[in-house]
Structure 1
Amino acid sequence: MCQDNQTKVTEVYLLGLQGLENFKTLFFSVLLLIYMAIVIGNILIILLVSTNSNLKIPMFIFLQHLALADVLLATFVIPLMAEVILKTKKKMSVDDCIIQLYSFLNVGFVQCFFLAIMSYDRYVAISNPLHYNLIMDRRICFLLGFGSWALTWTLASTEIIFIAQFEFCGLRDIDYFFCDVSPIVKLSTSDTSIVQWFDLMCSSFFFFCTLTFIIGTYIYIFIIIFKISSSAGRKKSFSTCSAHLISVAAYYGSIITIYVTPADEKSPSVNKYSSLLYTVVNPLVNPIIYSLRNHEIRQALHKIVEEFLRRKVI
Structure 2
Amino acid sequence: MGRRRLSFASSIRARYSGNTSAAGSQWDEEGAAIFDARATGSSLAWPDHLGGKSADAFAGGRVADPRVRIVRRGRARSGRFSAPIRGGGGGGNASLELSSRTPAPAALNPWDVMLCVSGTAIACENALVVAIICYSPALRTPMFVLVGSLATADLLAGLGLILNFVFQYVIRSETVSLLTVGFLVASFAASVSSLLAITVDRYLSLYNALTYYSERTVLCVHTMLAGAWGVSLCLGLLPVLGWNCLRDRAACSVVRPLTKSNVTLLSASFFLVFLIMLHLYVEICKIVCRHAHQIALQQHFLTASHYVATKKGVSTLAIILGTFGASWLPFAIYCVVGDPDYPSVYTYATLLPATYNSMINPIIYAYRNQEIQRSMWVLFCGCFQAKVPFRSRSPSDV
TM-score (norm: length of structure 2) = 0.57
Q: Say if 1:132 and 1:294 are closer, same or farther in 2 by CA, change over 3 A.
A: same
Q: Say if 1:309 and 1:50 are closer, same or farther in 2 by CA, change over 3 A.
A: closer
- Name the CA distance, whole Å, in 1 between partners of 2:255 and 2:150: 25
Matches within 5 A, 1:157-176: 157-163=237-243, 166-167=246-247
Q: Say if 1:79 and 1:99 are closer, same or farther in 2 by CA, change over 3 A.
A: closer
Q: 1:197 matched to which residue of 2? A: 261
Structure 2 portions without partners, runs of 5+: 1-60, 64-104, 294-301, 386-398
Q: Say if 1:121 and 1:14 are closer, same or farther in 2 by CA, change over 3 A.
A: farther
Structure 1 residue 127, shift from structure 2 partner? 2.2
Q: 2:326 matched to which residue of 1? A: 253
Structure 1 residue 215, shift from structure 2 partner? 0.7
Asked if 1:225 is matched to 2:288, the reply is yes
User: 1:48 touches 1:300 (CA, 8 Å); kept in 2?
Assistant: yes
User: 2:120 touches 2:158 (CA, 8 Å); kept in 1?
Assistant: no
Structure 1 residue 59, shift from structure 2 partner? 1.8
Asked if 1:73 is matched to 2:137, the reply is no
Q: 1:54 aligns with which of 138, 146, 149?
A: 138
Asked if 1:42 is matched to 2:129, the reply is no
Structure 1 residue 217, shift from structure 2 partner? 0.6
Larger radius of gyration: 2
Between Structure 1 and Structure 2, which shows a larger proportion of helix residues? 1
Q: CA RMSD in A?
A: 3.8
Q: 1:192 matched to which residue of 2? A: none
Q: 1:130 matched to which residue of 2? A: 210
Corresponding letter in the other structure for 2:135? T
Q: Say if 1:306 and 1:91 are closer, same or farther in 2 by CA, change over 3 A.
A: closer
Q: 1:106 matched to which residue of 2? A: 186
Q: Say if 1:220 and 1:156 are closer, same or farther in 2 by CA, change over 3 A.
A: same
- Name the CA distance, whole Å, in 2 between partners of 1:233 and 1:136: 31
Q: 1:92 matched to which residue of 2? A: 172
Q: 2:197 matched to which residue of 1? A: 117
Q: 2:276 matched to which residue of 1? A: 213
Corresponding letter in the other structure for 2:370? H
Could you list the per-position Cα deviations for residues 92-139 of structure 1 after superposition, in whole angstroms to 9, with x for gaps in the alignment? 221112111110111111222111111111111122211112375332
Q: Say if 1:225 and 1:216 are closer, same or farther in 2 by CA, change over 3 A.
A: same
TM-score (norm: length of structure 1) = 0.70
Q: Say if 1:119 and 1:309 are closer, same or farther in 2 by CA, change over 3 A.
A: closer
Q: 1:190 matched to which residue of 2? A: none
- Name the CA distance, whole Å, in 1 between partners of 2:135 and 2:344: 45
Q: Say if 1:196 and 1:268 are closer, same or farther in 2 by CA, change over 3 A.
A: closer
Q: Say if 1:159 and 1:184 are closer, same or farther in 2 by CA, change over 3 A.
A: closer
| Identical pairs, percent | 18
- Name the CA distance, whole Å, in 2 between partners of 1:289 and 1:76: 22
Corresponding letter in the other structure for 1:258? F
